[in-house]
Amino acid sequence: MPYEDAQSPEWEPLLGAAWEAWGHAYAPYSRFKVGAALAFPGGRIVTGCNVENASYPVGLCAERGAISAAVAQGLRLPGPIALVVVTEAETLTPPCGACRQVLAEFSAELLILLANRRERVIHRLGDLLPYAFTGRHLGILD
């Protein structure tokens, strides 16, 4: 299965795109730059970076930026199949709770590669956010 092994080559374009977005991160307050890259069926890649604000709570995470960009490009369903999140932090950076919820809206099966300059680990969104609240619970989506 594609994207099941952290070392397999299909991650490389996504990692490159995520690091490029990382370079654009606007994080003057936390100094914690994050890059994200989503892969869609067919190979399209959409990126995001964190964009902070002087009004701290208004800042946006890289993952939600990437999802917003993808939806604006008409990429919604079928949802993304893989996500890379990169930082230079010593400890790998997982998506925050809010981003997990937003990602679950579009892809329950998402494979997430967390990476820094020296290591990579794969997680499944379903493991990071089990029993997600979805449109199904509203009786709207299936």
Q: Catalytic residue positions?
A: 63
Structure tokens at 60: 């946006």
Q: What is the closest distance, in whole angstroms, from the C-beta atom of residue 111 to ligand THU in the complex? A: 16
- Nearest residue (CB) to ligand THU, 75 versus 103: 103
SS (H, E, C) the chain: CCCCCCCCCCHHHHHHHHHHHHHHCECCCCCCCCEEEEECCCCCEEEEECECCCCHHHCECHHHHHHHHHHHCCCCCCCCCEEEEECCCCCCCCCCHHHHHHHHHHCCCCEEEEECCCCEEEEEHHHHCCCCCCHHHHCCCC
Q: Quick count: other Cβ atoms within 10 Å of Cβ 41?
A: 11
Binding to ligand THU (CB under 6 A): which residues in 46-65? 50, 52, 59, 61-63
Q: Judged by CB, which is closer to ligand THU: 61, or 82?
A: 61
User: Per CB under 6 A, which region of 15-23, 30-38, 116-124, 130-138 contacts ligand THU?
Assistant: 30-38
Nearer to ligand THU, 39 or 84 (CB): 84
Given candidates 8, 10, 12, 30, which one binds ligand THU under the rule CB under 6 A? Answer: 30
Q: Which of 4, 5, 10, 32 binds ligand THU (CB under 6 A)?
A: 32
For the record, the structure tokens of 107 come out as 């892809």
By beta-carbon proximity to ligand THU, the closer residue of 1 and 29 is 29
The footprint of ligand THU (CB under 6 A) covers 27, 30, 32, 34, 50, 52, 59, 61-63, 85, 93, 95-96, 99
